[in-house]
Amino acid sequence: MSPVALNPVLEGLKVYPFTRLSSAARELRAQGVDVIDFGIGEPREDTPAFLRQAVADAITPQSPYPLAEGLPELRGAIATWAASRFGVGLDPATQIVPTLGAKELIFGLAQILGPGAVAVTVPGYPVAARGALFGGRQVVELPLTAERDFLPDLRALPDGVALLWLNYPNNPTAATAPLAFYEEAAVLARERGFVLASDEAYSELSFVDELPASALQVSDLENVLVVNTLSKRSSMPGYRSGFVAGDPFLIAALKRYRPNAGVAPPEFLQRAAAVAWADEAHVVRVREVYRTKRAALLPALEDVGLRPAGGEATFFLWLALPAGWTSSEAFALALLEQGLVVAPGAFFGPEGEGYVRVALVPTLAACEAAAARLRAWTAPTPV
């Protein structure tokens, strides 16, 4: 019998690179190696107890299907947070929709827009490009380089683009974007008729006191959408709770689309999410945890020749390879022999070669143990 034909986009996709990382770590653990995994950027801190309790308190005897536009109390909490954090006034009724985390929107947005290509930055989070491919779109890659502070050259954006994805604070480079850059991109979006979509999942994590700007702060939100999530700021990755906000016209289109996809978050999670967006004290504590981990690990990484090359936000360290090394995967494999998993920059596209990304998600004790291993390690001669 002939096998069932699959979508050629699915057939053509390579294995998600972080799946390979997870497999390598599992194999080492099966061999009895104490693996410390800095490869996958999944927060592993405990979700704050008051938020876990908020989820429990929100569970009701009946469980209705959630509405696509989300609960008014959550939309209101998000609007209040945006006003406090960024000084912007969003209409909860017309400019905000709760989402099933950020990934849902990043993957699916291309499906609601008219014809045109999708532009993404590289190195970068691969979901925006994969969503574009499944939506039948051409993908245009805009390189991020240290020479441009890991900001894309907007002048290189070709004609025929329907959607431009930005991601700041950036995964993997940890770079941030100034408000002037967002303004420039928003003006270009209005002039040329494309959507500027900004993935700001790491907006609340910074190693310095000044927090990053947001595309929500541009003077005109026409053609602009911003995505954010509780996964990082509140250590709630498994709760899959985020939002999209911006242009009322685009928000209305999303409200028409989303009932067909069935992606509205459960109401009990939405009620707990409203509690999370209303509290900043726990976010301050989360931020301090990552700063402490960075202080514990970064000097040891520098001792083996890795050089900080990215920005001061997210919970990532973007590090240039030691002198003499040219392959990020080869260097990552050398570290893997020490039971330390890092993400080769090449996993994020060719522009990431020459770097590794370290996700500060293990516990502080694990970061300190990794630092001790690094100080005792003599890196092999590069091949």
Q: How far is CA 224 from the centre of its chain?
A: 18
Q: Which of 194, 205, 197 is nearest to 234 (CA)?
A: 205
Is the same domain home to 90 and 128?
yes
Residues 164, 237, 176: CA angle, nearest 5 degrees: 40
In a domain, 380, yes or no: no
In a domain, 53, yes or no: no
Mean pLDDT across 53-66 = 93
> Judging by beta carbons within 10 Å of its beta carbon (0-12, 13-18, 19+), is residue 348 exposed, middle or buried?
buried
Is the same domain home to 200 and 316?
no
Is the same domain home to 38 and 128?
no
Q: Which amino acid is at 337?
A: E
In a domain, 382, yes or no: no
Does residue 157 contact residue 164 with C-beta atoms inside 8 Å?
yes
pLDDT of residue 98 exceeding 90: yes
Q: Which of 31-40, 111-120, 313-322 has the lowest mean pLDDT?
A: 31-40
In a domain, 55, yes or no: no
Is the same domain home to 141 and 266?
yes
State the pLDDT at residue 58.
95
Q: Which of 55-69, 270-284, 298-312 has the lowest mean pLDDT?
A: 55-69
Is the same domain home to 219 and 368?
no
Is the same domain home to 160 and 261?
yes
Q: Tens of pLDDT along 347-362?
A: 888 999 999 999 999 9
Q: Tens of pLDDT along 104-116?
A: 999 999 999 999 9
Is the same domain home to 106 and 234?
yes
Is the same domain home to 286 and 267?
no
pTM for this prediction: 0.94
Q: Tens of pLDDT along 204-235?
A: 999 999 999 999 999 999 999 999 999 999 99
Q: Which residues neighbour 43 within 8 Å (Cβ) at sequence distance 6 or greater?
A: 231, 232, 235, 236, 237, 315, 361
Is the same domain home to 331 and 239?
no
Query: Which of 279, 313, 331 finishes a domain?
Result: 279
Q: Tell me the three state secondary structure of residue 115.
A: coil
Cα distance between residue 222 and residue 247, in whole Å? 5
State the pLDDT at residue 274.
98
Cα distance between residue 302 and residue 309, in whole Å? 11
Is the same domain home to 198 and 236?
yes
Q: Tens of pLDDT along 35-50?
A: 999 998 899 999 999 9
Is the same domain home to 244 and 135?
yes
State the pLDDT at residue 23.
77
Give the Cβ contact number of residue 323 at 10 Å: 8
Q: Which of 286, 185, 267 is nearest to 226 (CA)?
A: 185
State the pLDDT at residue 188.
98
In a domain, 54, yes or no: no
Taking every pair of Cα atoms in the chain, the longest distance, rounded to a whole number of angstroms, is 63
Query: Which of 224, 247, 279 finishes a domain?
Result: 279
CATH number at residue 274: 3.40.640.10
State the pLDDT at residue 380.
86
Q: Which amino acid is at 157?
A: L
pLDDT of residue 17 exceeding 70: no
Is the same domain home to 130 and 32?
no
Beta strands in the chain (DSSP E): 36-37, 96-99, 117-122, 139-143, 161-167, 195-199, 224-229, 242-246, 307-308, 316-320, 340-341, 343-344, 355-359
State the pLDDT at residue 15.
66
State the pLDDT at residue 303.
96
Supply the range of the domain harboring residue 286. 8-47+282-375
